[in-house]
């Protein structure tokens, strides 16, 4: 087989790791990424270190992305999706549809003048400097794609990197193997009665990650003031029979305490309460860490009934206190919802295209006979919730199985 | 790319039987040998070693004040006894109760939850027993477990949750323990009279696991098991390249990870097989003419790559080219060299040099993995940094020597900032700590020379700390400008 190449759907931790491992074996890959920026959810995350590393693995996102972008064996195709797939005896035939590329990745320097001039706030800055290009136009917001004739960004660009005459592209590929690593969908907490979308100071854990990454500290979105008391609600959209989400999202029991410690490290007086059901594993030092954490923060084993605004613009949580056996309430300045990991929105379609079976929960079933079909592997959160380090390891395992499929090991 | 007559992998460990690890590897075309730890040598041409760890699983009854025996048993013992339990004749009075204790002392596991649920199902459906599960943190993160717990409740299992209080156990007249507890949901005090009390087992590293890791020169994680807990080891590798650790029987995150662990391990081993044509492209080399055999390099190498024999040599397979030994060697006998795949070590890798320093500049030495990326992010976010910052990237902060720092001052830098990964995050394990010591030495030197020691500073950060990078540089610059 001459020059084997692999098509990877999804440029997050699992997909990029698979691509990097294949590159070690001189196997080329095309990474189809649906968003304008590769790196997955993790590329928007922040470091949780206190005086030492706490093993959250968020720094690996930068590592994976930079290495993949710089690898000659890897081509990342942002704003793209798999449109068609067929297979006869030889390699697969795939058609990838790429959205119009307004920003030329070779010319854009990321100066951000287009961001400043866009009247629709449609130009987005990539989460990482290693994204290529480092800026992208959100076609859903851009006036040009709604039939307008605005050229503000094109006119402002000193590098002539922006153009509207580059149409949609169809790329015909002939991969010898496929890897489905399209990741997960973040649960929308508007389905829960915690005032998300109504109260500005109710945010998700992912928004908190981005805030720490981009601002370096915690403030209330409503007025920019530092909060004195915050709460986390765990399992929002997970372990929830009414939603039909009969699974644990696995990562939040690790991320909430780590984040709380980071916040306390930045602001020693910060008051933190965590509402939880059961604490799952969060690290290899679980027992000692769990005992310490219960001294550092208030852990309340309850699922709050709701969150409502108070007169002085705080967030009031109502819950049943298991220690006293009576209803209680807690007013906080900021509420963080640890939102669940759910199957990707396009996973049903893509997995059908690839011939992958899904379980009752909607995630891809791993390892059964005949699933996945020959030449196809599926690593990372398409299999179910997992954290960064597990997704990386899953991507490595997938690369091995792909090399086996290619007869290379 | 099959192996050519050399042993690929040594399997070391006491969980090799039953785990199927070596069978899997042999089935995939690897040449495998089993060895005790003494059979492993850093210098052998072995592709690597997979350490298969069993750990020790114990019920640790004493943590709950329970005495074993008399139908107080460990979960795995109960599973063995289960086939011999006869169905209960319902005409003979109320059905006997089996109590499972999960996550009430020590960290439970998804495996324990799954086993207890499977046993409950048999007890409830086929054996006419009643079941109660008393749990602290119930581990349900493995696929399907949450649904299974709800199914058990529907079938009639009593689930009692304990947050801070714990059940107590008292012996009744027949010597069988009764369970006294407060039900959190109903606030009622309950007394249960179980026929069996079954406790989950806690997995811990045993003395054998610890000793093996120590002999191999590989650092275990905080739980005592290999791999290292450093995120750059990806939950599989260790500080010694080619030594991988797996625990077939563990479910650290509630997943049956053995299959993925093995696939990832085989990938790593095959990649190392291709080592000579691949990586690393740099390696440390000792000049035997300059070497004084002081063994500083041996002690300072975080990767166990310095072999002590008739000559002191660096095992290229294990060298990560961090440069810690180069910076530490008192005789200046060690240099990092580019490595030609055909001919071995070639040209010396130049030490980072300072270009275009103007008097008064702030010079920052930064690790490529953390500081250089954070600097790029800082610029990307527009988080601001002074224009007169001279940034010198190094592959690892461990390569920063006293001379490099002093050189900056000799060129009239106003200050020197050393930025490394956080403790525990260094790709070379302790390159960051080495850099911190060097900074300490330079501080003392400045002080002795009558200069302000505050002109050199050490900070740690991560690749995603762009804002913090800007802040650290600005704050230091402002302090320097005040003087």
For residue A300, give the chain B residue with the closest CA.
Answer: B163
| Predicted local distance difference test score (pLDDT) of residue A409 | 85
| Predicted local distance difference test score (pLDDT) of residue B277 | 43
| Beta carbons of A53 and B377 less than 8 Å apart | no
What stretches in chain B show pLDDT beneath 50?
1-5, 277-278
Region A143-169 average pLDDT: 94
CB A113 within 8 A of CB A155: no
Work out the burial of residue A321: count CB atoms within 10 Å of its CB; fewer than 13 is exposed, 13-18 middle, 19 or more buried: middle
**Beta bridge mates, A84:** A95
Question: Is B427's Cβ below 8 Å from some Cβ in A?
Answer: no
Q: Which two tokens stand for residue A71?
A: 């690898």
Q: Which CATH class is domain A102-164?
A: alpha beta
Question: Is B224's Cβ below 8 Å from some Cβ in A?
Answer: no
| Beta carbons of B425 and A59 less than 8 Å apart | yes
Is residue A261 pLDDT above 80, yes or no?
Answer: yes
Cβ neighbours of residue B429 closer than 8 Å, sequence gap 6 or more: B219, B228, B230, B239, B302, B303
Cβ neighbours of residue A388 closer than 8 Å, sequence gap 6 or more: A13, A42, A45, A56, A57, A58, A60, A61
For residue B204, give the chain A residue with the closest CA.
Answer: A284
Which of A24, A286, A389 comes nearest B271 by C-beta?
A24
Can you tell me which residue has the tokens 């042993």? B7
Which of B235, B376, B422 comes nearest A52 by C-beta?
B422
Q: Please tell me what DSSP assigns to residue B276.
A: G
Mean pLDDT of chain A: 95
What is A187-341's CATH number?
A: 3.50.50.60
Domain A5-99+168-183+344-405 has CATH 3.50.50.60: yes
Spell out the domain ranges in chain A: 5-99+168-183+344-405, 102-164, 187-341
Best residue in B137, B165, B378 for a mutation probing chain A (most A CBs within 10 Å): B137
Domains of chain B with CATH codes: 9-54+205-277 (3.40.50), 58-202 (3.50.50.60), 282-348 (3.30.70.20), 362-482 (3.40.50.960)
Tens-place pLDDT, residues A335-379 = 999 999 999 999 999 999 999 999 999 999 976 556 778 899 999
For residue A361, give the chain B residue with the closest CA.
Answer: B144
A339 CA: distance to closest CA in chain B (Å): 15
| Beta carbons of A389 and B187 less than 8 Å apart | no
Per CATH, A102-164 and A187-341 having the same topology is answered no
Q: Please tell me what DSSP assigns to residue A3.
A: S
A338 CA: distance to closest CA in chain B (Å): 15
ipTM of the complex: 0.96
| Beta carbons of B253 and A250 less than 8 Å apart | yes
Contacts of A288 in chain B (CB under 8 A): 222
Question: Is B153's Cβ below 8 Å from some Cβ in A?
Answer: no
To the nearest 10 degrees (0 to 180), the angle between helices B373-381 and A59-70 is: 90
Distance CA B141, CA B276 (A): 42
Best residue in B25, B188, B231, B255 for a mutation probing chain A (most A CBs within 10 Å): B231
| Beta carbons of B235 and A247 less than 8 Å apart | no
Question: Is B316's Cβ below 8 Å from some Cβ in A?
Answer: no
For residue A378, give the chain B residue with the closest CA.
Answer: B260
Distance CA A368, CA A42 (A): 29
CA nearest A173: which of A98, A240, A94, A260? A94
A269 CA: distance to closest CA in chain B (Å): 20
| Beta carbons of A278 and B231 less than 8 Å apart | no
Distance CA B229, CA B208 (A): 19
Question: Is B380's Cβ below 8 Å from some Cβ in A?
Answer: yes
B126 CA: distance to closest CA in chain A (Å): 26
CA nearest B100: which of B69, B141, B59? B59
CB pairs < 8 Å spanning A and B: 206
Which of A62, A128, A248 comes nearest B140 by C-beta?
A248
Question: Is B141's Cβ below 8 Å from some Cβ in A?
Answer: yes
Question: Is B139's Cβ below 8 Å from some Cβ in A?
Answer: yes
| Predicted local distance difference test score (pLDDT) of residue B180 | 95
Best residue in A6, A396, A401 for a mutation probing chain B (most B CBs within 10 Å): A396
| Beta carbons of A301 and B163 less than 8 Å apart | yes
Higher pLDDT, B272 or A124: A124
Q: Give ∠ CA B192-B193-B195 in degrees, rounded to 5.
A: 130
A215 CA: distance to closest CA in chain B (Å): 6
Contacts of A112 in chain B (CB under 8 A): 382
Work out the burial of residue B71: count CB atoms within 10 Å of its CB; fewer than 13 is exposed, 13-18 middle, 19 or more buried: middle
Question: Rounded to an integer, what is the distance from CA B36 to the centroid of its chain?
Answer: 23
């Amino acid at each position: 087989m001459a020059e084997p190449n692999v098509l990877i759907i999804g440029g997050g931790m699992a997909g990029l790791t698979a691509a990097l491992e294949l590159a070690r074996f001189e196997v080329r890959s095309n990474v189809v990424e649906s968003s304008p920026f590769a790196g997955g959810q993790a590329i928007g995350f922040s470091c949780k270190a206190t005086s030492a590393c706490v093993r959250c693995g968020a720094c690996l996102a930068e590592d994976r992305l930079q290495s993949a972008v710089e690898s000659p064996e890897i081509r990342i195709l942002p704003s793209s999706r798999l449109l068609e797939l067929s297979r006869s005896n030889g390699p697969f035939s795939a058609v990838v549809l790429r959205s119009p590329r307004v920003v030329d990745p070779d010319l854009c320097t990321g100066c951000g003048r287009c961001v400043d001039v866009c009247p629709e706030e449609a130009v987005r800055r990539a989460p990482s400097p290693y994204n290529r290009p480092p800026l992208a136009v959100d076609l859903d917001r851009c006036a040009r794609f709604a039939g307008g004739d605005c050229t503000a960004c094109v006119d402002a660009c000193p590098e002539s990197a922006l153009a509207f005459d580059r149409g949609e592209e169809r790329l015909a590929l002939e991969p010898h193997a496929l890897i489905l690593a399209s990741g997960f969908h973040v649960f929308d907490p508007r389905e829960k009665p915690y005032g998300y979308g109504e109260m500005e100071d109710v945010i998700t854990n992912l928004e908190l990650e981005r805030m720490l990454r981009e601002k370096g500290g915690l403030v209330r979105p409503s007025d920019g003031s530092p909060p004195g008391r915050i709460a986390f609600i765990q399992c929002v959209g997970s372990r929830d029979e009414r939603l039909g989400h009969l699974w644990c999202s696995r990562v939040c029991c690790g991320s909430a305490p780590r984040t709380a410690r980071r916040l306390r490290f930045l602001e020693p007086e910060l008051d933190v309460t965590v509402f939880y059901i059961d604490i799952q594993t969060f690290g290899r030092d679980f027992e000692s860490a769990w005992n310490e954490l219960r001294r550092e923060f208030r852990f309340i084993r309850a699922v709050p009934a709701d969150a409502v605004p108070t007169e002085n613009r705080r967030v009031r949580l109502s819950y049943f206190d298991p220690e006293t056996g009576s209803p209680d309430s807690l007013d906080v300045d900021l509420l963080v919802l640890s939102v669940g990991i759910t199957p990707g929105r396009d996973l049903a379609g893509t997995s059908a295209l690839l011939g992958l079976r899904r379980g009752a929960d909607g995630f891809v079933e791993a390892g059964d006979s005949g699933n996945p079909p020959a030449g196809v592997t599926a690593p990372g959160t398409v299999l179910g919730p997992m954290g960064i380090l597990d997704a990386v390891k899953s991507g490595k395992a997938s690369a091995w199985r792909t090399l086996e499929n290619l007869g290379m090991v | 790319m099959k192996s050519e007559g050399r042993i690929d992998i040594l399997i070391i460990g006491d969980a090799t039987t039953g785990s199927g690890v070596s069978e899997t590897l042999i089935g995939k075309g690897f040449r495998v040998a089993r060895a005790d730890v003494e059979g492993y040598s850093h210098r052998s041409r072995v592709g690597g070693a997979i350490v298969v760890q069993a750990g020790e699983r114990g019920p640790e009854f004493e943590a709950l004040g329970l005495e074993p025996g008399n139908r107080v048993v460990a979960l795995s013992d109960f599973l063995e006894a289960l086939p011999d339990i006869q169905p209960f004749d319902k005409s003979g009075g109320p059905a006997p109760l089996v109590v499972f204790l999960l996550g009430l002392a020590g960290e439970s596991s998804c495996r324990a939850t799954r086993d207890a649920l499977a046993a409950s199902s048999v007890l409830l459906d086929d054996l006419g027993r009643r079941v109660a599960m008393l749990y602290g943190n119930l581990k349900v993160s493995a696929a399907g477990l949450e649904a299974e717990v709800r199914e058990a409740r529907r079938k009639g299992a009593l689930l009692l949750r304990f947050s801070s209080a714990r059940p107590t156990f008292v012996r009744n007249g027949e010597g069988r323990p009764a369970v006294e507890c407060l039900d959190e949901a109903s606030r009622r005090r309950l007394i249960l009279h179980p026929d069996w009390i079954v406790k989950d087992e806690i997995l811990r590293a045993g003395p054998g696991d610890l000793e093996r890791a120590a002999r191999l020169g590989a650092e275990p994680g905080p739980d005592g098991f290999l791999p290292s807990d450093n995120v750059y080891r990806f939950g599989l590798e260790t500080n010694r390249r080619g030594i991988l650790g797996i625990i077939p029987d563990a479910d650290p995150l509630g997943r049956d990870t053995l299959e993925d662990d093995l696939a990832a391990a085989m990938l790593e081993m095959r990649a190392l097989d291709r080592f000579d044509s691949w990586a690393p492209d740099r390696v440390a080399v000792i000049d035997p003419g300059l070497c004084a055999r002081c063994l500083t390099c041996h002690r300072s190498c975080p990767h166990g790559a310095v072999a002590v024999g008739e000559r002191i040599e660096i095992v290229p397979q294990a060298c990560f080219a961090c440069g810690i030994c180069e910076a530490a060697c008192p005789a200046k006998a060690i240099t990092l060299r580019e490595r030609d795949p055909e001919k071995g070590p070639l040209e010396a890798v130049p030490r980072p040099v300072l270009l275009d320093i103007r008097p008064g500049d702030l010079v920052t030495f930064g690790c490529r993995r953390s500081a250089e990326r954070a600097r790029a992010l800082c610029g990307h976010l527009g988080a601001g940094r002074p224009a007169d910052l001279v940034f010198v990237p190094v592959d690892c902060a461990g390569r920063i020597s006293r001379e490099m720092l002093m050189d900056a001052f000799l060129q009239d830098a106003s200050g020197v900032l050393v930025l490394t990964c956080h403790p525990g995050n260094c790709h070379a394990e302790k390159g960051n700590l080495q850099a911190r010591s060097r900074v300490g030495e330079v501080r003392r030197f400045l002080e002795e020379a009558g200069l302000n020691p505050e002109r050199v500073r050490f900070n740690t950060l991560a690749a995603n700390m762009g804002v913090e990078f800007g802040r650290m540089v600005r704050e230091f610059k402002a302090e320097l400008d005040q003087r």
